[in-house]
Amino acid sequence: MNNWIPKNKIVMSATIMAALSVVLYFASLFIVLREIKKVENFYHDTESEFFKEKKFLAIKSIAEANKEPIQTLRNFFIQKGDEVKFIEQIEAVARRSAIKFEIVSIDAKANQPDPLKEDIEVKIGMEGSWKNIIYFIDKLKKMPFGVLIEKVNLDVNIPSQWSGLVEFIIFREK
């Protein structure tokens, strides 16, 4: 009757086999999870490179499609070294306006929000008829460069002869 009771050796071997099976199961699970993580990382790296390439091509096509507006925006800011060209354009506009003018001051100040840009404050003294001065200011506002007219101060000296200052800011890249 005692035949159906397992012997100590059988119980021990079964316990060892069960423990070994559990250890092998968790070791295999750990290895599989690590390999899955590697595959996911490779996939994300590949996906990331693919999307970077795709994003680059999209930006490049957008830049190609909007060449003219981008160039207009770039022209809005006076490039380093284009200051003389800008002053020559102001002088040409003043001569076409038939006014007497003198550049009183030019002062460069760093732009606080954007360290790559700086504002150049310009003051011009002018004298002429009301119509010519207004024509000059209008042409100044419509220049291809970024011009912000801050202040216009005019007084009449003799009838139909006005004189004063115009203060404006131009924007330049550093």
pLDDT score recorded for residue 110: 64
pLDDT score recorded for residue 79: 73
Distance of CA 136 to the CA centre of its chain: 33
pLDDT score recorded for residue 174: 63
What are the C-alpha distances in Å from 30 to residues 18, 20, 44, 168?
18, 15, 21, 70
Of 69, 79, 133, 75, the residue nearest 101 (C-alpha) = 133
Count CA atoms closer than 13 A to 43's CA, side-chain side. 6
pLDDT score recorded for residue 3: 63
Q: Which two tokens stand for residue 85?
A: 């060209």
23: enclosing H helix or E strand: helix 8-65
**Cα(154)–Cα(170) distance, integer angstroms:** 21
pLDDT score recorded for residue 29: 92
Ordered strands of the 117-128 beta sheet: 100-110, 117-128, 161-173, 147-158
Beta bridge partners of 151: 167
pLDDT score recorded for residue 169: 85
Chunked mean pLDDT (size 10), the chain, 174 residues: 65 86 93 91 77 86 86 74 80 88 82 68 90 89 82 85 88 70
- The answer for 160, left when phi > 0, alpha when psi is -120 to 50, beta otherwise, is left
